[in-house]
Amino acid sequence: MAESQDNVLNLLKKSEEFLKKKNIPSARLDAEILLADLLKIQRVKLYVDFERPLSLSEKDEYRERIVQRSKFKPTAYIIGRKAFFDSEFHVNESVLIPRPETEELVAWVLEEYPNKEDSLDVLDLCSGSGCIGISLAKARKEWNVSFTDSSESALEINKKNIQEILNTDRSFELYHGDLLSPIPNETKFDLVVSNPPYIPEADKPNIMPDVAEYEPHLALFVSDFQGFHTKILTEAKSKLKPQGRLYLETHPRYSNWLKDTALSLGYSEADLKKDLSGRDSFVRLKI
């Protein structure tokens, strides 16, 4: 018979203490998420059955997960999933972990296009896990959504998420290549939506270790923000239909530069939107 120290409550307490000693900021929450996922139950159910003993194999697996987290490996990568908008996305170290700020970008686009009967051609640029495009496609069944990323392994995760989350006969184009270069010349979009890499490489020392040490640097950092984003603005402009729009998540420090540069490149309108923290994290550009 398992000893009481092997039950859910005691293991959570010990794991929380261990993670706190390792300076993990959300120690209790992470301990709960990792255990609930292991036991295949909702997190709240841990406290319904907190005296439940764990088997030897469950304890070993849980201990391994806690050790991984103590080394700052993100919880989402340990369990292989992350909730975003109203879906759960597969993630691994080939793709960025979807962020709440990006949910705000998706919500903004949907607010501006409320008619569910409209048929639009949409591109998720630098798509990663596909969380932006898939969330838009799930909410707007008539939209024709395509995806592009420079990482083949990211596109594999993207494809898996399309299959499992959308579970539909709709066809989705996935393009592999640098920004919009793989898109056929004749293909044009009503909307391009993107969370591209936007953290200047000079900021690397200030980034949390669970991000800097595990998430793909190709999707996070840019050596030349202005050069890279000028390329995005120029390529997107050539791919947008008349009245088309480009929505970007960006570094608040560069949002005004993006706005001014877009207008100088011939976009007719450029608007900023604040995230819930009050930072100018989003830019909307119109042809």
d(CA 158, CA 162): 6
Strand pairing report for 189-194 and 240-249? parallel
Neighbouring-strand partners of residue 172: none
Contact in structure between 58 and 39 (CB atoms under 8 Å): yes
pLDDT recorded at residue 18: 98
- pLDDT number for residue 212: 87
- b/e sequence 139-168, b meaning 16+ C-beta within 10 Å: bbeebbbbbbbbbeebbebbeebbeebbee
Give pLDDT, residue 1. Answer: 36
Q: Give the residue from 97, 117, 239 showing the smallest Cα distance to 179.
A: 239
Instruction: Tokens for 57, please give them.
Output: 């194999």
Distance CA 8, CA 241 (A): 56
Looking up tokens 């009245």 gives 243
User: How crowded is residue 221: how many other Cβ atoms within 10 Å of its Cβ?
Assistant: 19
Instruction: Calculate the dihedral angle through the C-alpha atoms of 154, 157, 163, 165, rounding to the nearest 10 degrees.
Output: -110
- Splitting the chain (287 residues) into consecutive groups of 10 residues, what average pLDDT does each group show? 72 96 95 96 89 93 97 97 96 96 97 94 98 98 96 97 90 96 96 96 89 91 95 97 97 96 97 96 97
pTM for the whole structure = 0.92
Query: Cβ–Cβ contacts within 10 Å for residue 225, how many?
Result: 21
Residue 4's pLDDT is 57
